[in-house]
Chains A and B, each alone.
Chain A
């Protein structure tokens, strides 16, 4: 087995999940200029709901096809997360639309803490094991091992990302979203119901977050009420790395961050003479964040298109 190829593969798998979450950050930032720090918790809620549905189905219909099971669990998680995002925006952020920027930011952090605590009350403090409903098979690809779960993660993420890009760039809804993110005032003059577009943006991001939650729980086989926190920070880092507000940037930033983390974790032991082990994996995201913020705060693709006044 080629270790480097394996790290690259693992990095891409992880990175595609980061990308899904980063898209939610970047879409909301693009339209409202708000960093929705509660987004990571939406990912966690998605994972928890799906896990609850799968556990219930397993106990009632143990013979059910795993694909049907994951489809049902996924649908439930997506619907719950979309409704949750709708209400968060409606009740917490909208009243602060014209407040100083710090107010919604602090509110977002508050919502994040609130959701974590609600999840802890409902699902407890213990790490929950995710049942392996798919038979895990392993294949070889370019000298690396790839599991059926990893194939599933990459395929689902790629399809969702492609779908989102098509919606945003080639549909009327997408045009309205882009117009609204440029100027809410002028978008209104076109007859766009700006509040509705903002709600939809939050909900699309939350749908992607729900799926990401399921994928990441499936990947690590574990879910926990605090799992959204670190994931959220990393996806935020990915969004900043790619250029916040830019969809292609979020995808690129997610994949890059996954690769950096995975390859970094693979070699950090060698590089530090064994002083730091691979459990320092999380360090990379924050080193990346700091480096980007210091040297290129607009991110890789965040260059402002030339705009004349």
Chain B
């Protein structure tokens, strides 16, 4: 069995079927991209895997059946998500937000070391450590959300549009961090509007269309596929 596997994963909102019986597989250590148009069902997919959305079908992670596990148990097993829209705690300080990421434990030393590491990745957060999350700029909040997700030392990182609202230089910076995290062996499932960036930063990719998978394959090949180029990379024929 793969490290992460969904079988006939489905999500519906009332009558809308946002995710329709999807099977995906992610191997340990891989970075896999999930791309698709607005409303394709990417966020619903990630939320179902993280456990914040009820779903049908099965999800297996690291040989455990996640299907009926509440979200906090999934975090315990090593899943961490940066939600779409960041989900920074506006009334907690930057440092408190980061510490929330380490809620489930690790020793004090590990926690201090991780905090230091995050401040090295994102010096801006260090400058703002005593400020409340709500007063950060959008880009700073995005950095905070990613750093917070890393504080739990996840085995699987679910990223929902990490580049959203960021200036190009920050996007570069964030993807540098993501690639660095991937090098340490963390498995990553990446949802990204910027399809080129997503394909360049991943080994494999799934393309979603109206709740279903349309294309899957090696990212390097998809980068050159005519269909992908015209529909997702904004390049005419």
Residues of A that sit less than 8 Å from B by CB: 172, 175-176, 178-179, 182-183, 185-194, 305-309
Q: Is the pair A183, B89 in contact by a Cβ cutoff of 8 Å?
A: yes
Min CB distance B66 to A, Å, is 14
Q: Is the pair B75, A189 in contact by a Cβ cutoff of 8 Å?
A: yes
Residues in chain B near residue A186, CB distance under 8 A: 83, 87, 89
CA distance A178 to B70 in the complex (A): 20
Min CB distance A253 to B, Å, is 19
Q: A176-B100, A186-B87, A192-B103 are in contact. List 19 more A-B contacts (CB 8 A).
A: A175-B96, A176-B103, A178-B92, A185-B83, A187-B100, A188-B72, A190-B75, A190-B104, A190-B148, A191-B76, A192-B72, A192-B100, A193-B70, A194-B72, A307-B90, A307-B134, A308-B90, A308-B135, A308-B138
CA distance A259 to B201 in the complex (A): 64
Chain B interface residue count, CB cutoff 8 Å, equals: 32
Residues of B that sit less than 8 Å from A by CB: 50-52, 70-72, 75-76, 80-81, 83, 85, 87, 89-92, 96, 99-101, 103-104, 132, 134-138, 141, 148, 152
Q: Is the pair A182, B75 in contact by a Cβ cutoff of 8 Å?
A: no
Q: Is the pair A189, B83 in contact by a Cβ cutoff of 8 Å?
A: yes
CA distance A172 to B104 in the complex (A): 10
Q: Which 10 A-B pairs have the closest CB atoms?
A: A191-B75, A307-B134, A186-B87, A191-B104, A188-B71, A307-B90, A190-B100, A190-B103, A191-B103, A193-B72
Min CB distance B149 to A, Å, is 8
CA distance A188 to B90 in the complex (A): 16
Q: Is the pair A189, B80 in contact by a Cβ cutoff of 8 Å?
A: yes
Residues in chain A near residue B87, CB distance under 8 A: 183, 185-186, 189
Query: What's the count of A-B pairs with C-beta under 8 Å?
Result: 78
Q: What are 20 A-B pairs at a CB distance below 8 A?
A: A172-B99, A172-B103, A175-B100, A178-B92, A179-B100, A185-B87, A186-B89, A188-B51, A189-B83, A190-B104, A190-B148, A191-B75, A192-B72, A192-B100, A192-B103, A193-B70, A307-B90, A308-B136, A308-B137, A308-B138
Q: CB < 8 Å: which of A179, A191, A194, A305 contacts B152?
A: A191
Min CB distance A184 to B, Å, is 9
Q: Is the pair A306, B134 in contact by a Cβ cutoff of 8 Å?
A: yes
CA distance A172 to B103 in the complex (A): 8
CA distance A149 to B231 in the complex (A): 78
Interface centre among B71, B85, B101 (most CB of A within 10 A): B71
CA distance A183 to B85 in the complex (A): 13
Q: Is the pair A182, B103 in contact by a Cβ cutoff of 8 Å?
A: no
Residues in chain B near residue A308, CB distance under 8 A: 90, 134-138, 141
